[in-house]
Structure 1
């Protein structure tokens, strides 16, 4: 039983490290495309937003996924996760008055071993 808990903790830490590396790579990729990173791992009561970036008068909420293939990374951004991120974005936008006057959108950063990052601007639209 103890070995199983230790193994689970190890795997959790390993996934956490991979996720941080993927988020750092996605942030760098966005910066190379003239985005400015405002926040990383922004926590809200709804959920965590991996990256919040800006470019001109646009605020971008980015979900970063690292998988063995871009296709499986994209599939992992399921409708439930999207709704959670939308809720978190609403919380962040209403709690920070200076964000209320900006346009915003939802992007996905796809990361796969041995491949360049893929940025999917305006990956989905918020449900009203």
Structure 2
């Protein structure tokens, strides 16, 4: 795959993830009655729920910026891990956070070739960019 196509795919997937996380964070920050009720049902206070929205936005910003993208990837992966654990604890489906987690890692390996090299254990001399 040419570097130009790889770059385009990486940024399209980044935009999809940005839409998902911004929508989720907006719901948490807006704090509608239904959202707060849902959070309370999971044992999360309204203040903690809003803080999760802030964490999502900060992590997403770090992910979008190329220089801090790897840090953002790790923070979003950790956030989604917590979401998966919370869903499991409350006997809810984990499919949505698992799928988002997979798309996150696919996007990160496309956008950050150094991450792909580390994960695959490929020496730098064998990777063409």
- When normalised by structure 2's length, the TM-score is 0.34
TM norm structure 1: 0.34
Which structure would you say has the larger Rg? 2
Q: Which has the higher helix share?
A: 2
RCO (CA 8 Å, sep 6+): is it higher in 1 or 2?
2
